Structure 1
Amino acid sequence: MTSYTHPDYFGKTYQKVCVLVEGRTLAERKFYEKIIVSSFRDYGTFATEGSILFPPLEEWSEEYYNTVLNKNGYDAFLLVTLSEEVVRDELIPKVVTNTQTKVDNDTTKKNTKTTTSVSTHKEMQRILEIEMQMQMKIIDVKNNQLSWQGESVKYMDGEVGMYQFGNRISYLADDLVLDLQNKKHLMIYD
Structure 2
Amino acid sequence: MKKLLSTVAALALVFTMGATAFADGLPSPTSGKNITGTTEADGIEVVVEQTTLTSDQEKTLEAAAKAAVKDAEIASVEVADVWIKDTVTGDDVSDTYAGYPLTVTFAFDGANNVVGVLYWNEANGGWDSADFKIENGKAVVTFEHLCNVAFLIKPVKGGNQGGGSSSAQTGYDGIVYIVSAIALAAGAVFFFSTASKQKTVKEVM
Q: Same fold (TM over 0.5)?
A: no
- Select the structure of larger CA radius of gyration: 1
Give the structure with the higher percent strand. Answer: 1
Give the structure with the higher percent helix. Answer: 2
Q: TM-score, normalised by structure 2?
A: 0.27
Q: TM-score, normalised by structure 1?
A: 0.28
